[in-house]
Homo-oligomer: A and B are copies of this chain.
Amino acid sequence: VETRPDPGRERRKGAPEIIFGETKETAQIIEMAQSLLASTGRAIISRLPPQSLVPLQEAFRAYAVSIREPSRSMVIYSPDYVRKSTGGHIGVISAGTSDIPVAEEAAIIAEEMGCRVTCIYDVGVAGLHRLMRPLHDLISDDVDAIIVAAGMDGALPSVVAGLAPVPVIGLPTSVGYGMGGKGVAALLSMLQTCAPGLSVVNIDNGVGAGITAALIANRVAQAREHQSQ
C-alpha cells in the first residue's frame, strides 16, 4: 500500500507536512521520511512508536536527527538543510509536569516553522504565584501567541487568557483519571472559558496547537519584517 506525504503543504499552507507515526509501520515511516527529505530537505515525525525509534536512527544515520524526549517527536534534516527563522515568538506554558510531553510537541513544531519559543513549565493553579513573574516577562518580551497545556481541571488556560493581551491556544492533555479524565474535563473547561480570546485544539494535539500559534506569529513577524525593511 503506497503512502502520499504532501511536500507542497509548506508552500501552500505555510505549515509543513508531518508524519503521524502512531498508526504506521516502521517501514512506512522510513519510506515517507525519505520521500519528504528528498523533496523538502526535512522530515518531521510525531507520536513515534517506541519500537520504531532505533530502526529510524539506523536508517537515517547519514542525516542530522533530532529527538526531543519526552515528546515522541523526531526531526530528520538533510545535511544541507537550513531551518528558517521568521522572527515570530511563541510562549508555551504547562500546568503540571505530566503535561510537558504534549507541550514539547507543540514547541518543536513552532520551532520547525521558524519561531522562537519560550517555555514555562509546572505553574498550575495549585500554586498560581509561580505563574505571575514569568508570564509578565513573556508579555514584555513581545510574545505573539501563547499555548497553555493543561490536563485534569484545565483551569490554567482560562487564567492566562484573563491576563495576557494576545491570542491564547488551549491545549488539553490526557492527564487525569476518573470522570472527566484523560483530558475531557480539561477540554470542556477550556471550551466553556469565560475569559476572552481563548481557542482550543483537541486533547494531546500539540501539533495542531504549534501550527496555529506559529501561523499567527509568522504572520505578525512578516508584517514586522516588512516594516523593518
Contacts and interface: CB of A to CB of B under 8 A. Distances in A.
Give the dominant DSSP class at A's interface. Answer: loop
Interface in A179-229: 179-181, 183-205, 208-209, 211-212, 215-216, 219-221, 223-224, 226-229
A20 interface: yes
Contacts of A155: 125, 153-155, 158-159, 189
A152 B24 CA distance: 15
A104 B162 CA distance: 24
Contacts of A221: 223
Contact of A220 (B130, B163, B223): B223
B185 A181 contact: no
A175 B220 contact: no
B24 A212 contact: no
Given A14-B197, A224-B226, 18 more contacts: A1-B70, A1-B100, A2-B122, A9-B127, A13-B164, A15-B197, A155-B158, A166-B215, A167-B219, A179-B202, A185-B191, A187-B191, A188-B189, A192-B202, A196-B211, A197-B211, A199-B212, A227-B228
